[in-house]
Amino acid sequence: MKDFSVDFIINACNGTLLTDYADGSEINNTEKNKLKSIKINDFCINSKNAGINSLFIPIVGARNDAHDFINDVYERGCRLTLTQRKDIRLIKGMNYIYVENTVKALQDIAKAHRKNLKLTLIGITGSVGKTTTKEMLWYALSSAKKVFKTPANHNSQIGVPLTLLEIDESYDIGVIELGISEPGEMEKIASLVMPDSAIITNIGNTHILALKSKEGIRDEKFKIMVGMAEGSVIFLNADSDILKKSDVYKGIKKEYYSGRKKCGYYADEVVIRSGLAHFKAHIGDETVEVSLNVYGRHQVSNAVVCLAAAAHYGIDLRSAASKISEFTGFKHRQQIYCRSGITIIDDTYNASPESMKAALDILKDIECSGKKVAVLADMKELGEDAEKMHRDIGRYLVENNIADTILTYGELAFYIFDEAESLKPDIGGETFYDFESLKKGVENTLKNKDAVLFKGSNSMALFRLLENA
């Protein structure tokens, strides 16, 4: 991260330096000069992480007001904070920049910084697969460039500006993840990122409760183009019917990619061995063989678009494909390992109908001499069609002959088991409503040589079954 001057921060967020202390005194010229010499290289929203070179950004939330922690950050050496409270009691030695809204101010600072950056930024959004695609693209691009990427999944109205402020000119290119959960979010963050190109992985049912329909989700995701210049390229997944039928914004060039069908960039000769995909990727006039080390047939399209983007920026395809093969995934996202003779598929990070089916496909493709067990919890934020979407998973399980036993956890997940049992009465399993009963059920069910999938929304906390086992 580069150093930011106090003047830059004040000008970027249209802030006002507060000068009246609680004892009636005002900031003097010496203190003003000291203030000008402060260099900020850390933008902090968590008081516990504040330090000497931090700008503290107190966020006012539904439950907590971080202005209450300004004393704490002062004790940690921080000497500069934003504030949206005019009534705040000023501490001598602490410098306060007044703004109308601290989140908006953070975004304005990030936007000003982005305008000064010369490097190319690629934006990634979609209902599922954003973080995996971001990581995979980082590998592909890093075969020839120094690449910045969004840390973890910091893709929100707060996470995106914090991410942008970490970028400096030492990088050649950046990969930025943009996420949404409600109307209006994408336009705000896309206008900060101003991506030079973009990828939309798919349109599913995630956040359908807030966005009402798949069309509403698509329209919100498409606002990533608000920040794109005329002539920019957006890569759309041709395996998603709603994306295939959609028009992009005027002046934006669309390119299609697929893991299953011929289009601008596609894969064929796909072979799955022990859950891992091997295939040929056709990128323009070139063909390259790819072997993945992340599990699931659905990862093929993610790899194809990463190769397409790499080629778009002049990177050798074979080098990019070789680097992609080094990616092995990350914690609680389709991690596969063996414990006590049992093959475990840990995909507990989150769940939607699309990602649930993708995870079940991995369970189906895993080689196993024992029984296959699916431990599935509620999928949240699905709105009025939640029961139907859970029943669809039960039907998918049976029609594709995926699992011998199904254990479900939660009131919504009950519909998975209920549907599966109605279609196949002899299927093994049980449904649970409290965690301890689920834990005992899992312990009693799993035996040596079995394979088991754990999948559910993050709030269901299925990962607790694995972390202390």
Interval 406-448: pLDDT, tens:
999 999 999 999 999 999 999 999 999 999 999 999 999 999 9
Specify the pLDDT at position 25: 63
| pLDDT confidence of residue 367 | 87
Predicted pLDDT of residue 335 = 87
Q: What angle do CA 348, 301, 396 make, to 5 degrees?
A: 55
Q: Is 131 annotated as a binding residue?
A: yes
Nearest to 198, CA basis, from 167, 219, 222? 222
Specify the DSSP class assigned to residue 130: H
Task: Give the model's pLDDT for residue 275.
Answer: 83
For residue 150, say whether it is annotated as part of any ligand binding site.
no
Q: Centre a 10 Å sphere on the Cβ of residue 319 and count the other Cβ atoms it contains.
A: 15
- Which strand (E) or helix (H) includes residue 166? none
Q: How many other C-beta atoms are found inside a 10 Å radius of the C-beta of residue 261?
A: 13
127 annotated ligand binder = yes
Return the DSSP state at 347: E
To the question of whether residue 213 is assigned a binding role by annotation, the answer is: no
Q: What is the pLDDT of residue 87?
A: 84
| pLDDT for the residue numbered 245 | 85
Q: What is the pLDDT of residue 90?
A: 85
Which domains can be identified in the chain, with CATH numbers? 4-104 (3.40.1390.10), 117-324 (3.40.1190.10), 335-467 (3.90.190.20)
pLDDT (tens digit per residue) in 287-307: 999 999 998 899 999 999 999
Q: Whose CA is closest to 227, among 133, 156, 330, 123? A: 123
Helix (H, G, I), strand (E, B) or coil at 357: helix
State which residues of the chain have pLDDT below 70.
20-28, 32, 36, 468-469
The verdict on whether residue 132 carries a ligand-binding annotation is yes
